[in-house]
Amino acid sequence: MKNSPRVNCKLETSTPAASNTQSPIPNTQYPMPKPLPTQTLKPNQTKKTATESASGGILLGDKVYWNPAALPNGHIAIIGASGSGKTQTLKAIAYELPRLFPEIKIVLADFHGDLHLPGEVCYPLNMQSPYGINPLVIDLDVLGGGPNLQAIAVAAIFKKALVLGSNQEGLVIDILNTCYQQKGIVQHNQQSWKLTPPTFADVRREITARIESGCKESVKLQLKLAATFQYGIFDRPQPSLDAQIIRFDLSALGKVPGLSAIAAEALAKQLMDSHRIMGEIEGKIPRTFLIVDEAKEVKNSPSIKIIYGDGRKFGLNAIVASQRDGEISDEAIANSSTKVLLAVDQTEVKRVSKRFRFAESLVSQLQPLEALVRMGTNGERCKIKPFYERI
């Protein structure tokens, strides 16, 4: 069989003085990323590299192998328009990861309900489901955890997702602290942090009690949280995260503005908190991958940003995918050692080419399941081997 052809050319780049590459938005919590290195699209080679073996990496397509343990980190950013093969690429990677690393765990935040995998444990989150996610689960880190900080973090999530004012944000913090105290959980007693945390059912009862006591601001807050309370997914028991492949089907939550973003942020925070408690990994083999198929839902997620910045050293990596370039955050692009660019809408070609340092002519010619892949400083073109050809 003949080798699949690859373009033998250098990508369009410019000198630093003349570069018009978009700079990441400044963020005081995260240092500015270094400029991307000059990228070269390598020709197809007949000689195998160290990672071109079944045990050395995951075959993306043709002779392109991906091994997160051989890269600075395992984070991936994937962009591809509808019909480009984005879902098949995500599922292929998620399916192969446990075969490369038998001890690894996969957690999927599935916003479309189509990332089902063999051997998975699936938790559908909807009005009929017995499962939920509890944003009030406490970070047990003695240096950065406890009920007080969890209350602040949850209030910040509400503020962004539900557009709360400053007074309402402060009221949420006070209500959450009261709910923790009612459960016997207090900041100064670290042993109490292990007690069963409150849920949104407790929050709802506390707001109702304050309304009955004449708190007018609580009436306004109740209206803001009405849809969240009505859906009930934050009232129910949260399932265990011990299975190897866990998929949270969040597809039903998109009907309520802000609900899916709150759920994804809560899940990401719990994963980051638990991995920080486990401590840093000794080698480069990851412990867990969080896969998100709709990057716009987590673009402003504080916990996703922390995972991209610090998750690697604790063995936690993130894979985010989107149909549009603007829906993936600058942190995700700057901190992902691997970028996978599938076919995009022609209106996106120019922007994507600059951001990913691939020539416009290469990007514009991509067909379904064709990808430009950058790992470190090297770029390659390949025909993605989809998930349906792997099972």
Pick the CATH number of 9-130+249-389 from 3.40.50.300, 3.90.1170.50, 2.30.30.140, 3.40.50.360: 3.40.50.300
pLDDT band of 29, cuts 50, 70, 90 = very low
> Higher model confidence: residue 39 or residue 201?
201
Asked if pLDDT for residue 102 goes beyond 50, the answer is: yes
- Mean pLDDT score of the chain: 86
pLDDT of residue 55: 53
> In sequence order, which residues have a C-beta less than 8 Å from that of residue 47 and are 6 or more positions away?
none
Residue type, 359: A
Which residue(s) pair with 267 in the sheet?
none
State residue 4's pLDDT score. 42
Mean pLDDT, range 11-38, rounded to an integer: 40
Residues of the chain with CATH 3.40.50.300: 9-130+249-389
- In tens, the pLDDT along 272-304 reads 999 999 999 998 899 999 999 988 888 888 899
Worst-scoring range by mean pLDDT, 9-18, 34-43, 255-264? 9-18
Among the ranges given (7-16, 123-132, 213-222, 371-380), the one the predictor scored with the smallest mean pLDDT: 7-16
Q: What are residue 344's phi and psi, to 5 degrees?
A: -120, 165
Helix (H, G, I), strand (E, B) or coil at 381: strand
Beta pairing partners, 338:
76, 375
Q: Is the pLDDT of residue 225 over 60?
A: yes
